[in-house]
Amino acid sequence: MGLWVNGNPGHPSDSYPKGQKYARKDDPKPRMVEAYFFFFAALKDFFVGTAAEDLVGGNHSIEMRLEECLRSMRSSLLVVVIDLDAGDDPQVIFETLNARGQPLLPADLIRNYIFLRARRDELDTEKMYEKYWRHFDDEFWRDEVRQGRLNRPRSDIFVQHLLASRQGRDIPIKHLYAEYRHWSEKEETKLSVLEELKLISEQSQNFRRLLAPETDDPIAPLATFLSVFDVSTIYPLLLSFFEIEPSDEEWGQIGEVLESYIVRRAICDLGTKNYNKLFLSAARNLRREGFTAQNLAQFLKSQSGESGLWPDDNLFLEGWVNNEVYRPLGSGRLVHILSKLNQKFGSTKSETLKFEVRPTVEHIMPQNWQKHWPLQSGEKGMTFYEMQDVDQTDQALIDTRERNRVVQRMGNLTILSQALNSDESNLGWSEKKPKLMAHSLLPLNLQLHDQMEWNEETVSKRGVELFGHALEIWQR
């Protein structure tokens, strides 16, 4: 071990210093070195002691303490030493030893498989590991995150998406190692060991950019949007795009196409169930036609049927004005949409507004409207229980049901930089409007200042007005 070769076993920190004074974290050390540090510190405490604690067994002679220490090490510390012959491969032995022990992550098995082949090809495995794999052993990749109904290490999810991007098909996550070997050994797609390592290294860093982008990264807007809308099934397609290294401008266009497609479908309540197959199909198509934003748009426009349709302007308008979007979209997605709209109401020279705290979605006409918001007929609206006991043709019942739908539509929703309390939120319009304006000076809300009343007609009118801006943002 390097500590002994350096001839300085008594001072390990000289051979492996902790790192620079202002470094974010210490340089990683080999595990054998970490083990040395641990036992060195433990033995020092036992024989020398610390300022805070009395010496353990200090009333016994040094000879007796040495004998006790040696006896403990012989009986309690077990070390396995395996002598390899010239033809033995340590990677194969490593896999064999772990076959019945602690399950290895697929990434561990893939690493062993790659470096086994590298050793057989007489490549410099230490340099290859340091250059292409070390970052992939970071704890970030072992952290478990939710994938569907299960929690999986990030490394598993990355390998699944990588294989899907290369093959254009769904990859079962339970059999990642077998799937990787199958892909790696296919003659028509076979890469050299070095090419495989480069691919994994580059794409793992690209995948990390999608999960945790830097603010100035050109893919940050798209990555943030996909996180908010929870569309991870698109990652194989994006990994395929990364291979051609698009320009910043091209990434912007790719993001605009995908955001328009996803937002329009979300507003029209068309669902995401088929996204996995759809985006894999897009990856196969673009591998033939070329990975460009234009080809991606053409592919999405060619889709038909509810599972893949990119809604045109007429369908988008229908969904925008009439659909009850609040519950299916949820707060996070609506904050994104309304924040984009808010920018359209600002000056063209103004910078993008950044909220210190995420704004909240507010129903202009509250969800609990019955107390302070009479129906347009002047009658009081019905509660849920009252609606169960009247004739289905009762006009007040019909009007109450319609209002309950209107309340959840886009024209009745806005965002506030500071939320109203429940009492303020449920006030009638004449009392609520000044509270609303006091809690938010966002450009999106300034138009509400001149509204003398708020009802079904004004909700519909505002919905149409907002849609004009939505068409500019989410073009097809």
**Total domains in the fold of the chain:** 3
Q: Which pLDDT value is given to residue 279?
A: 96
Regions of the chain with pLDDT less than 70? 1-29, 51-58, 76-78, 84-103, 148, 187-189, 346-357
In a domain, 432, yes or no: yes
In a domain, 452, yes or no: yes
In a domain, 137, yes or no: yes
d(CA 38, CA 76): 16
Task: Reduce the secondary structure of the chain to three states and give it as a string.
Answer: CHHHHCCCCCCHHHHCCCCCCCCCCCCCCCHHHHHHHHHHHHHHHHHCCCCCCCCCCCCCCHHHHHHHHHHHHHHHCCCCCCCCCCCCCHHHHHHHHCCCCCCCCHHHHHHHHHHHHHHHCCCCHHHHHHHHHHHHHCHHHHCEEEECCEEEEHHHHHHHHHHHHHHCCCCCHHHHHHHHHHHHHCHHHCCCHHHHHHHHHHHHHHHHHHHCCCCCCCCHHHHHHHHHHCCHHHHHHHHHHHHCCCCHHHHHHHHHHHHHHHHHHHHCCCCCCCHHHHHHHHHHHHHHHCCCHHHHHHHHHCCCCCCCCCCCHHHHHHHHHHCCCHHHHHHHHHHHHHHHHHHHHCCCCCCCCCCCCCCEEEECCCCCCCCCCCCCCCCCCCCHHHHCCCCCCCHHHHHHHHHHHHHCCHHHEEEECCCCCHHHHCCCHHHHHHHHHHHCCCHHHHHHHHCCCCCHHHHHHHHHHHHHHHHHHCCC
- The answer to whether residues 375 and 408 belong to one domain is yes
Tell me the torsion sign for CA atoms 70, 71, 76, 81: positive
Cβ 336 vs Cβ 393: under 8 Å: no
- The answer to whether residues 349 and 418 belong to one domain is yes
The tokens for 126 are: 């230490």
DSSP bridge pairs for 150: 147
Q: Could you give the C-alpha distances from 5 to 12, 19, 28, 403, in angstroms and in order?
A: 12, 21, 20, 81
CA 326, 328, 334: angle at the middle one, nearest 5? Answer: 50
- The answer to whether residues 130 and 195 belong to one domain is yes
- The answer to whether residues 133 and 19 belong to one domain is no
Q: What is the pTM of this model?
A: 0.77
In a domain, 103, yes or no: yes
- The answer to whether residues 14 and 107 belong to one domain is no
Domain that holds residue 129: 91-212
- The answer to whether residues 106 and 143 belong to one domain is yes
In a domain, 416, yes or no: yes
Q: Which pLDDT value is given to residue 349?
A: 41
- The answer to whether residues 47 and 134 belong to one domain is no
| Domain stop point among 212, 246, 269 | 212
| Domain stop point among 177, 212, 247 | 212
- The answer to whether residues 70 and 98 belong to one domain is no
- The answer to whether residues 11 and 112 belong to one domain is no
- The answer to whether residues 44 and 154 belong to one domain is no
Q: Which pLDDT value is given to residue 348?
A: 47
In a domain, 465, yes or no: yes
Q: Which pLDDT value is given to residue 27?
A: 59
Tell me the torsion sign for CA atoms 177, 32, 29, 85: negative
In a domain, 387, yes or no: yes
Cα–chain-centroid distance for residue 257?
A: 20
- The answer to whether residues 449 and 393 belong to one domain is yes
Q: Which pLDDT value is given to residue 23?
A: 47
In a domain, 301, yes or no: no
- The answer to whether residues 345 and 469 belong to one domain is yes
| Domain stop point among 76, 99, 121 | 76
